[in-house]
C-alpha cells in the first residue's frame, strides 16, 4: 500500500478478501431525508467482520457525541451500565474486556495518571471511549488495548478505574483485570461500583511499572 492509499482506496487483488466493518449508529439519530448518511458524530463505532460473518475488534469512534447521558458509548460501557443496574452479573463485564480498545489518562510526561478512587484505592484512569474524556481534566489521552494495559499494570497496588465520572463507573482489581483479559483465574472480579461524587481528575504519579507501549 502506498502512502496515498488507505484501506478504503487501496486496490484489491482478484480473490483477495476485503476488510468489512459493521457500523453502530446512535439509536436516537434519525435521518431527515431518505438515504441520508449519519454524521460522524452519530457513529458510535464499528466492528470488524470476519469472513464467516462473526464480529470482533470493536473500535469506538473518537468523534462520537452521545445523544444523551443514557447512550452507551461502546459494548463495554453498555455491559457496565447493565451490571450497575443489576441486570447482568459482574462476570459479564469481565467477559467484554478481552480485545477491547481503551483510552488511558497520561500526565504531561506521558506517564499514566494514578489517582485514588472514591473508595481510596490507587487506580489508573481508563475510559472505554473518548466520549467520556470531557468529564475529566487530563493532559493527554492514549489508546491501548485491554491486553496492553494488563501487561503494563504492576503486580499489585494499582487497580483500574473504568469510566470515572460517567453514569456507570467501577473499579476493577488489577489481578482480576489481568485474569479476565488473559482468560485465567476464576473470572470473579473485585469490581466495586463507585459514585461520581468525590472523584479526582488527576492524582499522584504512576508507580514504577505502569508503562504503556509507545
pLDDT digits (tens, 9 = 90+) for 31-44: 888 889 999 999 99
pTM over 0.85, yes/no: no
**In the chain, how many domains are there?**
2
Question: Distance of CA 49 to CAs 16, 17, 98, Å?
Answer: 15, 11, 17
Residue span of the structural domain in which 24 resides: 1-65
Residues 10, 77 within the same domain = no
Residues 51, 77 within the same domain = no
Q: Which of 65, 93, 116 is the last residue of a domain?
A: 65
48 membership: H or E segment, kind and range: strand 43-49
Question: Distance of CA 159 to CAs 1, 73, 98, 120, 147, Å?
Answer: 41, 22, 17, 11, 15
What's the average pLDDT block by block, 10 residues per block, for the chain (214 residues)? 39 55 91 90 92 87 93 96 95 95 95 93 96 93 96 93 95 96 63 38 43 54
CA gap 183, 195 in Å, rounded: 28
Residues 122, 206 within the same domain = yes
CA gap 179, 190 in Å, rounded: 11
Residues 108, 202 within the same domain = yes
Residues 134, 211 within the same domain = yes
Residues 54, 76 within the same domain = no
pLDDT digits (tens, 9 = 90+) for 172-208: 999 999 999 998 755 444 444 433 333 333 344 444 4
Q: Give which of 132, 129, 4, 146 is closest to 61, Cα–Cα.
A: 129
Q: Which of 65, 95, 114 is the last residue of a domain?
A: 65
Residues 91, 192 within the same domain = yes
Q: Residue written as cell 497520561?
A: 106
List of residues 6+ apart from 148 with CB closer than 8 A:
212, 213
CA gap 119, 138 in Å, rounded: 21
Residues 102, 52 within the same domain = no
Amino acid at each position: 500500500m502506498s502512502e496515498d492509499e488507505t484501506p478504503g482506496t487501496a486496490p484489491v487483488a482478484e480473490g483477495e478478501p476485503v476488510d468489512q466493518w459493521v457500523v453502530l449508529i446512535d439509536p436516537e439519530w434519525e435521518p431527515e431525508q431518505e438515504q441520508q448518511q449519519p454524521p460522524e458524530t452519530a457513529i458510535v463505532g464499528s466492528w470488524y467482520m470476519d469472513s464467516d460473518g462473526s464480529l470482533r475488534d470493536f473500535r469506538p469512534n473518537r468523534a462520537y457525541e452521545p445523544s444523551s447521558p443514557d447512550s452507551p458509548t461502546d459494548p463495554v460501557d453498555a455491559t457496565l451500565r447493565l451490571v450497575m443496574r443489576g441486570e447482568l452479573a459482574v462476570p459479564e463485564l469481565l467477559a467484554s474486556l478481552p480485545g477491547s480498545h481503551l483510552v488511558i489518562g497520561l500526565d504531561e510526561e506521558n506517564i499514566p495518571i494514578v489517582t485514588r478512587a472514591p473508595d481510596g484505592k490507587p487506580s489508573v484512569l481508563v475510559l472505554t471511549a473518548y466520549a467520556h474524556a470531557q468529564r475529566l481534566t487530563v493532559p493527554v489521552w492514549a489508546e491501548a488495548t485491554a491486553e496492553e494495559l494488563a501487561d503494563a499494570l504492576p503486580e499489585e497496588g494499582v487497580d483500574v478505574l473504568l469510566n470515572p465520572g460517567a453514569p456507570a463507573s467501577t473499579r476493577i482489581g488489577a489481578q482480576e483485570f489481568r485474569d479476565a483479559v488473559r482468560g485465567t483465574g476464576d473470572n470473579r472480579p473485585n469490581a466495586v461500583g463507585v459514585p461520581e461524587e468525590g472523584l479526582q481528575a488527576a492524582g499522584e504519579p504512576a508507580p514504577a511499572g505502569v508503562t504503556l507501549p509507545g
